Amino acid sequence: MDVQVLIAGAGPTGLTLAIDLVRRGVTVRIVDKAATHFVGSRGKGLQPRTQEVLFDLGVLDDVLAAGRPYPLLRVHTAEGATDRSMGEPGEAGEAEPWMLGQGELEAILRAKLAEHGVRVELGTELTDFTQDAGGVTAVVDGERVRAAYLVGADGGHSFVRKHLGVGFVGQPVEAVRMIIADVTSRGLDRDRWHIWPQAQPAMIGMCPLPGGEDRFQLMAGIVEDAPELTEATLRALLHERTGRTDITLTDPTWTSVYRANMRMVDSYQVGRVLLAGDAAHVHPPTGGQGLNTGVQDAYNLGWKLAAVLTGAPEELLETYEEERLPIAAGVLSLSSALLTKHARGEEDSMRRGKETQQLNLSYRGRSLAKGEHGGDRVPDLPTSSGSLFELLRGPHFTLLALGKTHPDLPVPTHALPELREHYGCDYVLVRPDGYVGVSTNNPQDLSTYLYTL
């Protein structure tokens, strides 16, 4: 075997998976057919649950330093400008959505991966693969590579998905197309996200980006074919739709014409080949769900792949699809509902709440969820030892002993009787991805759970 896991695609999903695997001692190759790293503000919203994942991977401080909180919206209409909040205040101890462009996030993740001795292989294309009972034989730039597993994290146009023949159900939303561009602009306050919802023939917005003075992301709906995206045409579009010739626009560094899509696979796994991120589901940008769902796909898959590679039953991998496919379907439904509001021009179409933060997503009722709290995300509850997340951090199961005694198990154990009121039981076994595996009063349930994985 040349490598244990071959990952096709080095976006946030592939990079998250690679980091999670290598810190568990799994050998990884991660390839991307792109000749250069992506630089741009696409996927700029990091939800609180994703920030928890990034904390565990050891990159959250860098992400927070490079990004910024979401600003208030400033809505410009014929009647004047009004300021609005996009979201509701978070609960105590919970993060707020954070703004950082995908290109900058990827750079941070690549740097962390490099600390583990693994680098992204750019300009390296997966062109074929076959599989058998023992592994996957892939062709990468003409080289034959033998891997135990292949993961397709190669985006909405995924070669891996197409080669597998997996269904990709859904449709493009022809009515929603948008120009997006990263530009330098002066004349607008940088502490507000400026929106002209009534602009003709379609809305336009300017969102201040972190990390650079006078950098904004321009967003403009289009109803006809997109013009050539030059500096001059973007400037003219901005001036025409806002009526503000005092706003400058120069130096477009990344431009894109976006057409909303709503699609997802009917299977996350075929044998030893698995799909994750946009290769498995593509979302409208409304609600900032796509990138975040992909990162959490990877976080769910990483510990399971590593466990199987070190002797756990292969059936454990079946729980990846069991848990993540319903989540993707639910998140896609949410994104679609928000898109409908946006298309109708509803006043609250930009407002976000708990449903978009992904903190309440649960695996309750799935085969790995045991007990009253099985499948629930573990919040960062205050403890006598400080942050609970600090105690959970790392690629392992953790036992929270909430009663007077605890069994001797081969996992880190923390006696935290102060949490018994919250959980109402003696033991909570937390999975490596921060969800409750078992909540119980019977220590035998813990041993049974661990030794059957």
Tell me the pLDDT tens digit for each residue of 71-125.
999 999 999 999 988 766 555 457 789 999 999 999 999 999 999 999 999 999 9
- Compute the distance between CA of residue 344 and CA of residue 221 in angstroms, rounded to an integer: 13
Between β-strands 72-77 and 126-132, what pairing exists: parallel, antiparallel or unpaired? unpaired
Structure tokens given for 372: 């009253």
Tell me the pLDDT tens digit for each residue of 264-294.
999 999 999 999 999 999 876 655 577 999 9
Tell me the pLDDT tens digit for each residue of 396-405.
999 999 998 8
Residue 27: band (very low, low, confident or very high) from pLDDT cuts 50, 70, 90: very high
Angle in degrees, CA 272, 276, 282, rounded to 5:
140
Place of tokens 């929270």: 400
- Summary mean pLDDT of the chain: 91
Residue 365: band (very low, low, confident or very high) from pLDDT cuts 50, 70, 90: very high
Structure tokens given for 112: 């962390």
Cα 276 to chain centroid distance, Å, stands at 10
DSSP assignment, residue 417?
G
Contact (Cβ atoms closer than 8 angstroms) between residue 181 and residue 234: yes
- Ordered domains of the chain (ranges, CATH): 3-67+96-170+262-357 (3.50.50.60), 172-261 (3.30.70.2450), 382-451 (3.40.30.120)
Place of tokens 């496919």: 325
Place of tokens 């900058």: 104
Lowest mean pLDDT among 96-100, 195-199, 304-308, 349-353: 349-353
Cis bond upstream, residue 201 (ω within 30): yes
Residue 316: band (very low, low, confident or very high) from pLDDT cuts 50, 70, 90: very high
- Compute the distance between CA of residue 299 and CA of residue 15 in angstroms, rounded to an integer: 11
Lowest mean pLDDT among 24-33, 174-183, 248-257, 319-328: 174-183
Lowest mean pLDDT among 95-109, 250-264, 335-349: 335-349
Would you call 158 helix, strand, or coil by DSSP?
A: coil
Strands (E), 410-451: 413-415, 427-430, 436-440
pTM for this entry: 0.94
Q: Could you tell me how many residues make up the chain?
A: 453
> CA torsion, points 93, 98, 102, 104, in degrees to nearest 10?
-90
- Compute the distance between CA of residue 354 and CA of residue 90 in angstroms, rounded to an integer: 8
Place of tokens 């208030």: 72
Tell me the pLDDT tens digit for each residue of 188-247.
999 999 999 889 998 899 999 998 789 999 999 887 887 889 999 999 999 999 999 999
